[in-house]
Amino acid sequence: MKKLSYLIKYGLKKRLFTKAFNISSLIIGLVIIAITLLPSIIATFSDGKGEMIDDQITIVNLTGYDTGDTNLAQAIINSANPVLNALGYQGQVVFNVSTDIADKPTVAYYDETHEASGLIYLYLEEVVAGDPFNDDNYVVKVEIYNQGINQVLLQIIQGQLKELQRTKYKFDHPTFDDGLIADLTPVFVSDPTYVESLDSDMLAAIAPMLIIPMFMVIIIGLQFIGTEIMEEKSTKAIEIIIASVPPRTHFFAKIISIMLFLIAQLGVYVIFGMIGYGLNEIIAGVGGNSQGNWSATLGMLAPVVLPTLILTLICSLLGALIYCVLGAFIASLAVNQEDYQSIQTPVMMILMFAYMGGIFAGAAQLNEFLLVLSFIPFTAPLVIPVVFAMGYLGIVEVIIGVVIMVVSIILLITLFTPLYRASILSYDQSSLIKRIKNTFKTAKVMKENQKLYEEKHLE
């Protein structure tokens, strides 16, 4: 264990504590921050104004709080209008208020034609049944029906709706503190045909771009582990190392050190991304410009972004691990760097097939082809996040795909560990197929010798 720990630490120090790593991380980190600040930068140059909103919003208020100072619908309008005016949208939004139960939205809302681009439905829900005369026994509920509400307007309305529960409490208890009343979270009643919407088409076009960073992470892991092993093997340093540590330990040390390096690198990028995101939200908040935040920029795509990014990180690391195991074994078969570059061609072809297949199939929305690639362990890391983001893969299918990758990693490690032991000190220069055959034969002989040795000592 001490030798394994030493080799892992040595490999990490060799990669992490270098000027190249620090400079590249800083440059890429600054690029990430610049990208995350784009909404605020664009909003600043456009003076916080986008195109005209020209929207109509219907508010159906069935709460009973609908007269004079106790009017929840009017409270929304009164708080939204100053924000709209400050952003230069004065007079561009028309709010229509109804207290008629006949205007209550039904399940057929999205099948009907409406002048308004959206509807906000306000109603009360009883907390404890059987106490109808207690105002505190009712809470405000809000449903939003969106048929094309401008994203800036939607963000402004959401900001005002969260105060609605406190507004009701103030009406009921004018002299009491409302500080402990929680924010109201509206329920979005989605359009059943949303999959065919413009947002879905945009997501289908953008999602394949996720493949590029994942491909880079896998390539970095594959090249690093091959280069490191070949450097030791071509200089014959590997003979000294293997004399001190078992090949199995050397095999695991290389893989673990590379994976820890990739985790550290991705961690640095995530930190820069969080810093940039935080700065962007602060700038947007200080400027009072709801266009400058990422929620307004992404619109209805916002809820899927965070799980997609998390899945992208997971698949990147699992993919890198799969190809690192393959790369380590291939490097053990090679004699020098040139030899390694030639015999790794089959692996690179598989990786390029996954890369190109995911990009083109994703852009063309070839659902069935993408689903097949999602369950093949060598292509799944590059495809699963794309298919998930496009909505073609549910959480159950994602879990199945991830489990397939994990099981494949275990099987590959089980297969290649004894083969690595047989090939790491071999300088065979025959064809790749013949080298692999010889390696299997040598591994079998070594296993039998090990078994005989153990039986002899047990006697």
What confidence tens digit (pLDDT) does each residue in 122-174 have?
999 988 777 776 778 889 999 999 888 877 788 788 888 888 888 888 888 88
Q: Does the structure show a pLDDT above 50 at 393?
A: yes
Predicted pLDDT at 205 = 56
| Token pair listed for 354 | 């996954």
- Cα separation, 299 vs 155, whole angstroms: 9
Element (H, E) at 96: strand 93-98
- Cα separation, 273 vs 267, whole angstroms: 10
Comparing 123 with 277, the larger pLDDT belongs to 123
In terms of average pLDDT, the best of 13-22, 102-111, 228-237, 289-298 is: 102-111
84-93, 126-135, 145-154, 383-392, range with the lowest pLDDT: 126-135
Element (H, E) at 314: helix 302-333
The SS3 assignment for 322 reads helix
Predicted pLDDT at 195 = 45
* Sequence-distant (≥ 6) Cβ neighbours of residue 87 within 8 angstroms: 48, 49, 152, 288, 289, 290, 291
Question: Tokens 């909103």 map to which residue?
Answer: 53
- Cα separation, 146 vs 110, whole angstroms: 9
Is 374 within 8 Å of 384 (Cβ atoms)?
Answer: yes
Predicted pLDDT at 412 = 94
Interior/surface letters 210-238, b for 16+ CB within 10 angstroms, e for the rest: bbeebbebbebbbbbbbebbbebbbeeeb
Is 212 within 8 Å of 200 (Cβ atoms)?
Answer: no
pLDDT digits (tens, 9 = 90+) for 187-238: 888 876 654 444 555 555 556 667 778 888 888 888 888 888 888 888 888 8
Predicted pLDDT at 416 = 92
Cα–Cα distance list, 107 to 18, 59, 222 (Å): 61, 17, 53
Mean pLDDT of 15-20: 78
The SS3 assignment for 318 reads helix
Share of the chain above pLDDT 90, in %: 19
Question: Tokens 């390539």 map to which residue?
Answer: 219
- Cα separation, 255 vs 348, whole angstroms: 18
Predicted pLDDT at 97 = 94
Q: What is the DSSP string of 156-184?
A: HHHHHHTTHHHHHHHHH-TTS--TTPPPP
Comparing 266 with 291, the larger pLDDT belongs to 266
Predicted pLDDT at 260 = 92
pTM: 0.65
Is 187 within 8 Å of 144 (Cβ atoms)?
Answer: yes
Comparing 451 with 27, the larger pLDDT belongs to 27
Predicted pLDDT at 442 = 85
Mean pLDDT of 181-189: 86
- Cα separation, 78 vs 95, whole angstroms: 11
Q: Does the structure show a pLDDT above 60 at 326?
A: yes
The SS3 assignment for 97 reads strand
39-43, 277-281, 404-408, 454-458, range with the lowest pLDDT: 454-458
Arithmetic mean of pLDDT over the chain: 81
The conformation of residue 66, written as its DSSP 8-state character, comes to: E
115-119, 292-296, 298-302, 412-416, range with the lowest pLDDT: 298-302
Q: End-to-end alpha-carbon separation of the chain, Å?
A: 28
Comparing 95 with 28, the larger pLDDT belongs to 95
* Sequence-distant (≥ 6) Cβ neighbours of residue 341 within 8 angstroms: none
Predicted pLDDT at 447 = 75
Predicted pLDDT at 347 = 86
Q: What is the DSSP string of 208-272?
A: GGGHHHHHHHHHHHHHHHHHHHHHHHHTTHHHHHHHHS-HHHHHHHHHHHHHHHHHHHHHHHHHH
Q: Does the structure show a pLDDT above 60 at 74?
A: yes
Comparing 310 with 131, the larger pLDDT belongs to 310
Predicted pLDDT at 198 = 42
Q: Does the structure show a pLDDT above 70 at 49?
A: no
| Token pair listed for 259 | 């994976």
Helices (H), 46-177: 72-86, 151-161, 164-172
19-23, 110-114, 269-273, 288-292, range with the lowest pLDDT: 288-292
| Token pair listed for 400 | 């199945």
